[in-house]
Structure 1
Amino acid sequence: MRIATITNWAYGATVLLTVMSGVTMLLASGAEDRERAAVEQRARFDELTSTLRDDSLRMTEQARSYAVGGNPAHLAAWNGEAGRLKNVEERLSHLKDTGALPSELTALRLGLHWSDALLDEQKAAIDAMSAGEAGTARKILFSNEYERELDRIDTQVSRFQFLIDQRTESAVAEATKATRMLRSMSEVMVGITALLFLCVLYFILKQRILRPVVRLSDVVSRLAAEDFEVPLPELGQVDEIGDMAQAIGIFRENGLERQRLERERDTDRSMRDLLSRMTQRLQGCGSTEDLVGVVARFAPEIAPVFAGRLYIFDERRNSMTEACNWLSPHDSREEFPPNACWALRRGQTHRPEGELIDIPCAHLDGPKYHRPICVPLTAQGETMGLLYFELRDGADEDSANPAGKYVEMLAENISLALANLRLRDTLRDMAMADPLTGLGNRRQLDAMLKTQTIEADRNGLPLSCLMIDVDHFKRFNDEHGHDAGDAVLRAVGSVLANATREEGMAFRYGGEEFVLLMPGFDTETARKRAEKIRQKIFELKIDHHQKSLRSVTISIGLASTPDHGRPDALLRTADAALLRAKAEGRDRVLVANIRDTTSAAA
């Protein structure tokens, strides 16, 4: 029951009891008034009856005094008293007006008749005295009969007073009893009112209001200090205090939600700052190796609940190859074909586990997966790699969803960085590579020769250089057209590109001339490799417009450091050896000699 209802009931009961107590007290006061009226009425009756008795005795005394002494003064006094006397009905009317009952008036009326009879006898005695018959007058007034009549008057008055006393005592007793009862009732009602007030004070103010309010005040104080983790007291009250507790609970929930949103906002801000820093670092990367290092450093900070791998697409092997990993992932293989991943097939993020059932990727190993996430790295419709994530062992799954929203942002930044690197590499290749054969051009040759020369000097290793020329190349153009010549150059360039373990060591020097650098090769080893290259090119089968071209032969000039001079003169020395090979009949390998070096230097 609500406090307002209980308070209203208590207020109504208190008012009712107060009114009843007041009415009872008024009734008790009325009973006291009746008691007082009965006593006053008795006093008036006593006064009237005493007057009646006194009048009879006084007139008897005056009459007797006149009969004995014959003094006219006594006669005058008697006559005065007799003149003041009224008849019986007039004297009874006063008593009737005072409240005498008929039965009581009957007794008094008989006494008044006896008084009137004595008045007649007194008048007879006075008449006899006036006639000179004093003895007769004294005989009348002092006779036994006269005394008996006096006694009868006294008896009737006493009887009247006795009846009045009985009625008065009964009325007083009833009034007293009623007064006591009403006073007791009033006291009981006052006691009940006081008890009700105490009950209201204890059960309503203390139990229902004060105690819960004290408990809630501590909660409110802690909530004011933004301690929204404070537990709410369990109040089963369905009243205003319960409504207050419910409102405080809603405020607490709102505070917790606000704190959660603030934490998410702070986390989001810090994550976005982290992503911004990573993006800045990715923009400064000059190579794929730099990019891989940045990803390996920032990825575990951005998504700490996920272990992961960065795959980069290897066009030559047509596979996704792991470039780096973090936090020890173990569900996905290190290398797999692109069609083994549904994210690469569909071109969008793939989550085989979670709220929606989906197909797991073929590159996942093991009967049980750790909520894997595959995010393709694409830019302008081209797939460049894949970001793979899996939930770490012991990580909280509830924290996977908040962290998962940054995964795609991370992938987008990496995709853009990879696209920029590829565009940069493409532009560099366009500037540093020969468009026909795909080999490095002379600009690339100068840069690579400088680099390899420094490395050779630093490590004390030999460096060999082959200067290669296609024999009678003009004939291919004259006999079959320039397309056939281009096909020959592409075939020769393909052989040279795979002639060494190191990539990027073959270059198109100009026209039909090529250069092949061989770091770490001494003169004899380089010569043997040059012979193999010459033989392999001779064995090439080149078809042009469904027609086989004749065999291709090449002339090779070989120079090595330190056998044939300093590295900065290596290219000129090899060119001199090539000129000798062509002069001696072509289709051969000639090693430079000191004379060649000297002439070249001159």
Structure 2
Amino acid sequence: MRLSTITNWAYGATVALTLASGATMLMASTAQKQERDAVQQRYELDHATSLVAEDIGVLSGLARQYAISGSLADLTAYRHELKELMKVEDRARHIRDAGASSAELYDLQQVFRQADALLDEQDAAIKVRGQGDRGQAIAILFSPEYERELERIQAGVVRFQSRIDQRTEMAMQEAVRTSRLWRTTSEVMLGITGLLFLCVLYFIFRRRVLHPVVKLSDVVTRLAAQDYAVEPPVYDQIDEIGDMAQALRIFRENGIERQRLEQERDADRSVRDLLSRMTQRMQNCDTIDDLRGIVERFIPSIVPSAAGSLFLLDCERDAMVEFCSWSEPQQSRSSFPVSACWALRRGGLHKAAGNVIDVPCDHLELTGKGVADTICLPLVARRGTLGLLYFEFAVGGASATVSDVYLNILAENVGLALDNLRLRDALQDMAMADPLTSLSNRRKLEVALESHVAEARPDLSISCAMIDIDHFKRFNDEYGHDAGDAVLRAVGKALKDAVRSDDHVFRYGGEEFLLLMPGLGPEEAARRVEGIRASIAALRLRHADRILGEVHVSAGVACAPAHCDRDGLVHAADAALYEAKRNGRNRVAIAPLKELEGRAAG
């Protein structure tokens, strides 16, 4: 006999047995429903009679409380509770509807009549108490007869509930016996059905279900462990097994995609964290060298697949000059004109290769392998273009995985840090410079002296010259303050031309200037200052088509450690200047040793 025929006969027998079993189960369910109905009826009757006893007790308590206290609040509570109660006739009708027998209703009617009598006594007591007779009201409500009426009501309720319990128990026993009979019959039929089904369909189950399920179970276990390398088996048949295999393939593809998204999310979070920490560090930079260290430290981690450089703008040459680099970039020159980069021309990110074809920058050293995969990012801030961030990727690199958003944020943060540093330097220069002569001012002098004192060797000489313009007030009085400013500028320029570094000449205040000469002894310093005095005396100044006449200066020279210690250098030079003015001006005086020794002793 063919397997399909056996299967059809088995299906037919199974359907018949299943229908018969279902019928017996319905009969058993009907018997169980009768049992539940009996229990429900018992509950409703018990509940109804319990409410009668409880209500009588509550009303009795409120009436007694009013009889004792005479409080209107107690009387109001009694009347409110009385209004909320159901009428005796309504309760009787409800209990009859719940299925009580005539004998049970007779017992309950006795309870209701006793309850009505008790309510009459309560009304009488309340009326007496309202007339002010407290003792009579208490005597009515606390009399032995009143207590016996309450007990009879409770006994009647218990008797009624006992009758209900007996009747309900008999009904429940009958329903349980019927239910067990039908349930047993149903279980026997279900057992026969199950045995037949297992015997006939064993081969089909084994061939069509068991083997595929074992394979799919192994796949499910590995997928549950997030091992998405497993390949689900392919079943072409259109059934549950095929649907499961298809679902597992979809689940595996979703898992692979979810893993990829999680990796991208983790990488994105890591880049954002690096950018945040890099920005915080750059905000605390004090010098451009601090910025160099931060850039070389963080950018290789933010863009690990690329080498690169940071170029800064050389304003004098109008060119980009490499400031620092990482991972040894090879394809860009270290210095090039601003016009050689398309990113600087366009003012935005520029890619020379990738998914979109574009023009390569002229600063790239192209080879025969084609256009290099590079990215140029201009560093633009409030003060204009400051520099360029340059990235280059190896052949077959991952430039496409680098988000342009993060690259632009990186360039914006680096440009902002550069702008802040340059603004700070400009403000510092303005604070340290004299606006009239462009020389360093007295504040810069204090910084320079501290630097020389801290860095110079103890045995190294450092000389100081205090220079003052003789009769400077004459220029202001005769020719005006503009002429006086011109004289100050001319003397400042002469001093600047006479020294090797601008950091060694200062405008001390008014018409006084100061010269630092590290490494020079007293005689050499005096000779240099004498030459400066002579060069200033040779000046022929004109202002507003008027000849201003000769300009003469007096100077005092002091040297440490020959004349004094370094802390007293300016004071010693100032004392020597005073000596030069006292001796006739237009001369150079050297601080005398005996004067310094005497002052030190004092």
TM range (shorter): 0.5 to 0.7
Q: In structure 2, what is the Cα distance between the partners aligned to 1:222 and 1:266?
A: 24
Distance in 2, Cα, partners of 1:262 & 1:543: 78
Q: Is the 8 A contact 2:235 2:245 kept in 1?
A: no
Which residue identity lines up with residue 372 of structure 1 in the other structure?
A: T
Structure 1 position 291 matched with structure 2 position 274: no
Q: Per the alignment, do residues 320 and 215 of structure 1 end up closer, same or farther by CA in structure 2, a change over 3 Å counting? A: same
Measured in 2, the distance between the counterparts of 1:243 and 1:364 equals: 57
Q: Taking structure 1 as reference, are residues 544 and 400 closer, same or farther at Cα in structure 2, changes over 3 Å only?
A: farther
Secondary structure (helix, strand or coil) at the match of 2:278 reads helix
Partner of 1:22: none
| SS in structure 2 of the partner of residue 467 of structure 1 | strand
TM-score by length of 2: 0.57
| Secondary structure, aligned partner of 2:410 | helix
Q: Tell me how far apart the structure 2 counterparts of residues 585 and 361 of structure 1 sit (CA, whole Å).
A: 69
Per mean C-alpha deviation after superposition, the further-off stretch among 376-385 and 257-266 is 376-385
> Conserved in 2, the CA contact under 8 Å of 1:306 and 1:327?
yes
Deviations 1:95-139 (A, max 9, x none): xxxxxxxxxxxxxxxxxxxxxxxxxxxxxxxxxxxxxxxxxxxxx
Shift of 1:565: 1.9
In the other structure, the counterpart of 2:382 is 380
What is aligned with 1:511? 510
1:265 deviates by: 1.8
Structure 2 SS opposite 1:397: coil
Number of the residue aligned with 2:266: 266
Please report how far the alpha carbon of residue 243 of structure 1 lies from its aligned counterpart in structure 2 after TM superposition. 4.8
Output one character per residue of 1:66-111: Cα deviation in whole Å (capped at 9) or x when no partner: xxxxxxxxxxxxxxxxxxxxxxxxxxxxxxxxxxxxxxxxxxxxxx
Task: Report the alpha carbon displacement of residue 509 of structure 1 after superposing the two structures with TM.
Answer: 0.7
Partner of 1:360: 360
Cα deviation, residue 269, structure 1 = 2.0
Query: 1:214 and 1:448 mapped to 2: Cα distance?
Result: 86
TM-score using structure 1 length: 0.57
> Which residue identity does 1:380 align to in structure 2?
R
SS at match of 1:378: strand
| 1:256 Cα deviation from its structure 2 partner | 1.8
Map of 2:425 onto structure 1: 425
- Give a deviation string over 1:383-438, Cα, whole Å, max 9, x none: 333322222x47x6236533664333222222333333334334434443323334
The aligned amino acid for 1:401 is T
In structure 2, distance between residues paired with 1:325 and 1:265: 28
Deviation at 1:257, TM superposition (A): 2.0
Return the offset for 1:446: 1.9
User: Measured at CA, do residues 404 and 300 of structure 1 come closer, stay the same or move farther in structure 2, by a change above 3 Å?
Assistant: farther
Match of 2:31 in 1: none
Residue segments in structure 2 that go unaligned for 5+ positions in a row? 13-199
3-state secondary structure, aligned to 1:504: helix
Q: CA deviation at 1:370?
A: 4.4
- Quick one: structure 1 residues 295 and 435, their matched pair in 2 at CA, closer, same or farther if it must change by over 3 Å? same
Change (3 A) 1:517 1:360: farther
**2:219: which partner in 1?**
219
Q: How many correspondences in the alignment? A: 410
TM-superposed deviation, 1:547: 8.5
Structure with higher Rg: it is 1
1:578–1:483 Cα change, 3 Å = same
- Alpha-carbon shift at residue 222 of structure 1 (Å): 1.4
For 1:384, the aligned partner's letter is L
Cα displacement (A) at 1:244: 4.0
Other structure's SS at 1:377 match: strand
RMSD over aligned CA atoms reads: 4.2
Tell me the distance in 1 between the aligned counterparts of 2:372 and 2:538. Answer: 54
The 10-residue stretch of structure 1 (437-446 or 425-434) with the greater mean CA deviation from structure 2: 425-434
CA distance in 2, matches of 1:343, 1:544: 50
Residues 437 and 592 of structure 1: CA distance in aligned 2, closer, same or farther (over 3 Å): same
SS of corresponding position for 2:513: strand
CA pair 478-325 structure 1, distance change in 2 beyond 3 A:
farther
Deviation at 1:551, TM superposition (A): 7.3
Equivalent positions of 1:327-366 (< 5 A) are 327-366=327-366
Q: Once the 2 structures are TM-superposed, how far is the Cα of residue 559 of structure 1 from its aligned partner?
A: 2.5
- Counterparts of 1:187-336 in structure 2, within 5 Å, are 206=207, 213-228=213-228, 230-233=229-232, 235=234, 237=236, 239-240=238-239, 243-315=243-315, 318-336=318-336
Deviation at 1:227, TM superposition (A): 1.9
Q: Give the partner amino acid of 1:415.
A: G
The secondary structure found in structure 1 opposite 2:350 is coil
Q: Report what 2:416 is aligned to.
A: 416
The 3 A distance-change label for structure 1 pair 399 and 331 is closer
Once the two structures are TM-superposed, the CA of residue 445 in structure 1 deviates from its matched residue by 1.5
Q: Which amino acid aligns with 2:231?
A: L
C-alpha distance in 2, partners of 1:349/1:540? 56
Look up the match of 2:54. none
SS in 2 for 1:425: helix
Sort the Cα spacing of 1:450 and 1:226 in 2 relative to 1 into closer, same or farther, 3 A: same
1:407 aligns with 2:394: no
Q: Deviations over 1:532-570 (max 9, x none)?
A: 655776788988679997776654433222222211121
Structure 2 counterpart SS, 1:356: coil
The 1:376–1:535 alpha-carbon spacing in structure 2 relative to 1, beyond 3 Å, is: farther
- Corresponding letter in the other structure for 2:260: R
Where in structure 2 are the equivalents of 1:87-126 lying within 5 Å?
A: none
8 Å Cα contact 1:469-1:556 kept in structure 2: yes
Q: 1:449: which partner in 2?
A: 449
Deviations 1:224-245 (A, max 9, x none): 11222x1424637374555544
Describe the SS at the equivalent of 1:364.
Answer: coil
How far the C-alpha of 1:510 sits from its partner, in A, is 0.7
Q: Is contact 1:453–1:463 with CA below 8 Å preserved after alignment? A: no
Please give the per-residue CA displacement for 1:162-211, whole angstroms capped at 9, x wherever unaligned: xxxxxxxxxxxxxxxxxxxxxxxxxxxxxxxxxxx99x968x974x7655
- State whether residues 573 and 600 of structure 1, in contact with CA within 8 Å, keep that contact through their aligned partners in structure 2: no
CA–CA distance in structure 1, aligned partners of residues 545 and 340 of structure 2: 38
Within 1, Cα distance between the matches of 2:350 and 2:288? 25
Task: Give the 5 Å matches for 1:430-441.
Answer: 430-441=430-441
State whether residues 462 and 562 of structure 1, in contact with CA within 8 Å, keep that contact through their aligned partners in structure 2: yes
How many Å separate the matches in 1 of 2:497 and 2:315? 16
Aligned pairs (5 A) from 1:571-586:
571-581=570-580
- SS of residue paired to 1:385: strand
Q: Which amino acid aligns with 1:344?
A: L
